[in-house]
Amino acid sequence: GAGVSQSPRYKVAKRGQDVALRCDPISGHVSLFWYQQALGQGPEFLTYFQNEAQLDKSGLPSDRFFAERPEGSVSTLKIQRTQQEDSAVYLCASSPGQVRDEQYFGPGTRLTVT
Amino acid sequence: KQEVTQIPAALSVPEGENLVLNCSFTDSAIYNLQWFRQDPGKGLTSLLLIQSSQREQTSGRLNASLDKSSGRSTLYIAASQPGDSATYLCAVLDAGGTSYGKLTFGQGTILTVHP
């Protein structure tokens, strides 16, 4: 079956531009996570959705980062006024339930801010 | 706050060698521990998941062990092959805190197996 998909796979933005990154989770999965992976580092948690509710946004690095999942399926991570330190791979993961289920990861979006 | 450390940061071995990757975590109250593989430009592929009540898991040439009390896990790769070259990530899911569980990752070990 189809796994988690993300688009675009690569994004180059000039500093100050806004970007939107999309995640299509596995159909029917309740939980959706966003992680940020800087070069040479492990992924770090950004935010969590249970269906359409954003229950945890403690990992978002600044108020320039905004995420939504309005219908409880597709999610969008938006970064406003991008800065060079936002350059990273943004990974999306989904899991079937809401209590510590195994997470399935998408291929990620590599964002480069010039 | 949970912290995960992986040693070594990079490893280069000739084909056929058996090797061990190490992972340590600071808070032993974990729900499970997972080893992932990441190829360049790709997402994460789950290799092995060990529940907190388990001591080890095996899949093919891979064996992962867990010593929760000492905060350590090892990933053993037998008879390494060039196709094993990738970054290996260790991640823990805490038992406390949130019920949905956010993963805490180590920084990874970059493995190169040369022919």
Smallest CA–CA separation between B102 and chain A, in Å? 7
Residues 6+ apart with CB under 8 A from A93: A4, A32, A33, A35, A103, A104, A105, A106, B44
Residue B93 has pLDDT above 80, yes or no: yes
Residue A1 has pLDDT above 60, yes or no: no
Question: Which letter does DSSP use for residue B44 in this model?
Answer: E
d(CA B41, CA A107): 7
Q: Do A107 and B105 touch (CB under 8 A)?
A: no
Q: Which residues of A touch B102 (CB under 8 A)?
A: 33, 45, 48, 56, 59
Q: What is the pLDDT of residues A10-37, one digit of tens each?
A: 999 999 999 999 999 999 999 999 999 9
The token pair at B30 is 């974990």
| pLDDT number for residue A102 | 87
Rounded average pLDDT over A103-111: 95
Q: Which residues of B touch A91 (CB under 8 A)?
A: 43-44
- Which among A48, A99, A105 has CB closest to B102? A48
| pLDDT number for residue A69 | 97
The token pair at B78 is 């037998």
| pLDDT number for residue B15 | 97
Residue B42 has pLDDT above 90, yes or no: no
* HSE toward the beta carbon, residue B81, CA cutoff 13 A: 5
Residues 6+ apart with CB under 8 A from A109: A6, A7, A8, A9, A10, A11, A21, A89, A90
- Which among B98, B99, B107 has CB closest to A42? B107
Q: What is the pLDDT of residues A39-97, one digit of tens each?
A: 999 999 999 999 999 999 999 999 999 999 999 999 999 999 999 999 999 999 999 98
Rounded average pLDDT over B34-40: 94
User: What average pLDDT does chain B have?
Assistant: 94
